Structure 1
Amino acid sequence: MERDTTVTTGYGDLSDDVMVETLSRLPVKSLMRFRCVCKSWYCLVKDPNFIYKHLKRDNSMRLMIYCTYKNPYDTDPFNDLITYFSIFPDKTLTDLHIQDLEPTMKGNTTGPYDGIFLLLGDHTHINLWNVSMDEYRVVPRYKVRLPCDTRAHSSYYGLGVDPVANDFKLVLVLTLWDENRQWTYDEFSPAAVYNFTTNCWRDLGGFPMSRHYRFEGADDVYLNGFCYWVVHRPDYYKEILKFSMTDEVFQVIQGPNIPQLLNYYESAMRPWMLGIYDDYLSILYSEEMAHSFDLWIMKGRSWTKQFTFGPFIETYQPLTFWRKGEFLLQSSDKRLVLYDSTYEEMRDLGITGLWFSVNILKESLISVRE
């Protein structure tokens, strides 16, 4: 019998688009194994466009809670707090897992940004850790020249892909502390970009709006080549800071047409929570002192109110977007709840504590290996 030496280069009856769509639904561990199937699959799994297609999938999302609560069995008032990480391993949020990430995440940690944690030695000494791929990278220290009598006070980050260069980048903005005035230094804020491919920092010449704007919080949102943060002016008027991963420039854009509360307390009580809804940049806005919420989405250059949910008898603090139409909230008595706006249902997740933070941990193919 003559041996068939024909080499199959296609996917049989499956088109390339169907195959890409199918592979994007698989978990990271499976895709890492499938890199060995053929050269085209190996290149696909490393392609930033495919990586972000995979990140957008609902089944890549895990809910991670960092919780601190009082130990009822410890009588020592100086050693009666317990802190732990817990992860819901699937999207049903029914099986709570206690996972010990403390040894790796010991110290100052921020993120995850698209599945990547930033482990901070200090504000300019950053290491990257991809939990799903268990990859770790020691990032070269950002060597910044500070004005006299100043020190790094706080740092803000964004991570995303430059769609033109097809490279992942990490953007960093530092705020400084004036030792003489004992106040935030507002003349200059260092800013830099780190390229994953070149493994080096590039100075951006400073954050141009440092005198006029302050970051509202550390959380950023990446969407289609841009990073976004909520910022406020000295009078607490809020706007959106936008950074282009391709052009590497900052721009301030207007937020939705919602009431601006120009004092610290009321502004802090009604936060703008950034997120992505239906592939649009979105803001969840707390109305009526957190008894109800408005969801605004930005289409083109304009904002549209998508819907309002509430009012509720109890007050809630928004924590993060979950899946479409679902939001995670913290109740006034420190309970973690999930609100489904489609069915107008509130679900208690059975987690309480003195303090907790909630993050979306995504299964990420972004390689941090050098």
Structure 2
Amino acid sequence: MEREMTVMTSNGDLSDDVMVETLSRLPVKSLMRLRCVCKSWYSLVKDPNFIYKHIKRGDNMRLMIYCTYKNPYDTDPFNDLITYFSIFPDKTLKDLHIQDLERTMKGHITGPYDGIFLLLEDNTHINLWNVSMDEYRAVPGYEACLPCDTRAHSSDYGLGVDPVTNDFKLVLVLTLWDENKQWTYYEFSPAAVYNFTTNCWRDLGGFPMSNHYRFEGADDVYLNGFCYWVVRRPDYYKEILTFSMSDEVFQVIEGPNVPQFLNYYESAMRPWMLGIYDDCLSILYSEEIAHSFDLWMMKGESWTKQFTFGPFVETYQPLTFWRKGEFLLQSSDKRLVLYDSIYEEMRDLEITGLWFSVNILKESLITVKRR
């Protein structure tokens, strides 16, 4: 239960509750400056309940874009790509002005959970990044003890909080390559978990990959103490892999009742886009090979189809969930568009490129620095 928050200071006619409510509406950069006003405000900004109140506000969302496009002025075919990393400051996306983010570290971005991203340089170099506070933490390298004649083929991560201990955790799953069997994955996947408070890794032993699951996408979804990934078997049958942050146990569950296509092309053309819709684990599924989409929601232990939108003349690839009823899509001609399923409107966000990586940023006061 959330405890009551108070600001121990005199504010004229303003009550403590009004002051807390007012401060919770401010952006992170403003709150970081206001810490110097008085001791009570300094303590408030670090209060876990205030941090939770601030991050759970419905308007605390920004859209981040990682885009690569071809430089039309460069004639060198080996050096003609430009990549930029930007954010839309306007949370309504009515103003399409973008602000460039100058990242000091390179690597693939995955996440986030409550404003914290992972910067993955490779399998052993990982950094935690709070964008709003511009804070980094270098995660110690994990040295996995691999079986003989195997090597790490890929690594997948999940980030979230243990609801029992309130400690942040980073879970790692390695997919191994069996050197003795050509084009075969090893039947066991090592796994480990990193605790923020202890700043170290613990082996989880992993789990048998009897069906040789492959992760469908790099990003996980966290909800209510569980991480979720879409995984694919060699026969292209898709399921959901879950991990409990408190029990530290993996489990495979069935997805929604949609057609399973047992060849690579049709399976790839009908991706399962995981996300959170109306506080439920949800999947955006392409019904007619990127011409229409179904939204499925997990309520209790069963999947329910919420609605269908489309069909469209053009084909679209789903990128991520935005606000309620809105989804970000990539058009067949490489444009970033926002679809409002309630009003059935498509908006061009005036960004084109060869490919996009889209993330939802929640401004967060959660520090990643070691205490």
- Structure 1 vs Structure 2: percent identity of aligned residues? 83
Rate the CA distance shift 1:52–1:275 in 2: closer, same or farther, 3 A.
farther
How many Å separate the matches in 2 of 1:239 and 1:262? 13
Rate the CA distance shift 1:8–1:73 in 2: closer, same or farther, 3 A.
closer
User: 1:4 — aligned with what?
Assistant: none
1:234 aligns with 2:264: no
Aligned residue for 2:207, secondary structure, equals: coil
Tell me how far 1:62 sits from its aligned partner. 1.6
AA of the residue aligned to 1:364: S
1:193 aligns with 2:193: yes
Tell me how far 1:92 sits from its aligned partner. 2.4
Tell me how far 1:319 sits from its aligned partner. 0.5
How many Å separate the matches in 2 of 1:361 and 1:298? 24
1:336 aligns with 2:352: no
How many Å separate the matches in 1 of 2:121 and 2:210? 24
User: 2:59 — aligned with what?
Assistant: 59
Rate the CA distance shift 1:215–1:54 in 2: closer, same or farther, 3 A.
farther
How many Å separate the matches in 2 of 1:19 and 1:299? 37
Contact 1:58/1:323, CA 8 A, preserved across alignment: no
Aligned residue for 1:246, secondary structure, equals: coil
1:1-370 matches, cutoff 5 A: 23-33=23-33, 37=38, 42=43, 45-47=46-48, 51-93=51-93, 94-102=95-103, 104-209=104-209, 211-370=211-370
Contact 1:150/1:176, CA 8 A, preserved across alignment: yes
Contact 2:96/2:349, CA 8 A, preserved across alignment: no
Contact 1:85/1:99, CA 8 A, preserved across alignment: yes
Rate the CA distance shift 1:59–1:263 in 2: closer, same or farther, 3 A.
same
How many Å separate the matches in 2 of 1:323 and 1:50? 23
Aligned residue for 1:268, secondary structure, equals: helix
User: 2:4 — aligned with what?
Assistant: none
Contact 1:66/1:86, CA 8 A, preserved across alignment: yes
User: 2:3 — aligned with what?
Assistant: none
Tell me how far 1:60 sits from its aligned partner. 2.3
AA of the residue aligned to 2:138: V
Contact 1:222/1:228, CA 8 A, preserved across alignment: yes
AA of the residue aligned to 1:303: W
How many Å separate the matches in 2 of 1:209 and 1:366? 35
TM-score normalised by the chain length of structure 1: 0.89
AA of the residue aligned to 2:73: Y
How many Å separate the matches in 2 of 1:41 and 1:278? 34
- What are structure 1's unaligned runs of at least 5 residues? 1-6
CA shift digits 1:67-97 (9 cap, x unpaired): 2222222222222222212221121222332
AA of the residue aligned to 2:267: S
How many Å separate the matches in 2 of 1:299 and 1:155? 30
Which stretch shifts more, 359-368 or 218-227?
Answer: 359-368
Contact 1:173/1:207, CA 8 A, preserved across alignment: no
Rate the CA distance shift 1:166–1:100 in 2: closer, same or farther, 3 A.
closer
AA of the residue aligned to 1:269: M
Rate the CA distance shift 1:156–1:234 in 2: closer, same or farther, 3 A.
same
CA shift digits 1:117-137 (9 cap, x unpaired): 323342133221211111111
CA shift digits 1:41-80 (9 cap, x unpaired): 7367442x65455434343222121222222222222222
How many Å separate the matches in 1 of 2:132 and 2:340? 28
Tell me how far 1:314 sits from its aligned partner. 0.8
CA shift digits 1:214-257 (9 cap, x unpaired): 21111111111111111122222211111111111111122111
How many Å separate the matches in 2 of 1:262 and 1:64? 34
CA shift digits 1:125-164 (9 cap, x unpaired): 3221211111111212112101122222211111111111
Aligned residue for 2:289, secondary structure, equals: helix
CA shift digits 1:93-125 (9 cap, x unpaired): 2233251435x2324443444322323342133
Give aligned pairs, total.
Answer: 361
How many Å separate the matches in 2 of 1:112 and 1:8? 33
Contact 1:151/1:177, CA 8 A, preserved across alignment: yes
AA of the residue aligned to 1:357: S
AA of the residue aligned to 2:157: Y
How many Å separate the matches in 2 of 1:51 and 1:184? 46
Tell me how far 1:40 sits from its aligned partner. 8.8
CA shift digits 1:13-53 (9 cap, x unpaired): 8576x776655433222343455655597367442x65455
CA shift digits 1:150-192 (9 cap, x unpaired): 2222111111111110111111111122334343432221111
How many Å separate the matches in 1 of 2:222 and 2:28? 20
Aligned residue for 2:59, secondary structure, equals: helix
User: 1:3 — aligned with what?
Assistant: none
CA shift digits 1:185-225 (9 cap, x unpaired): 32221111111111111111013446442211111111111
Rate the CA distance shift 1:212–1:80 in 2: closer, same or farther, 3 A.
closer
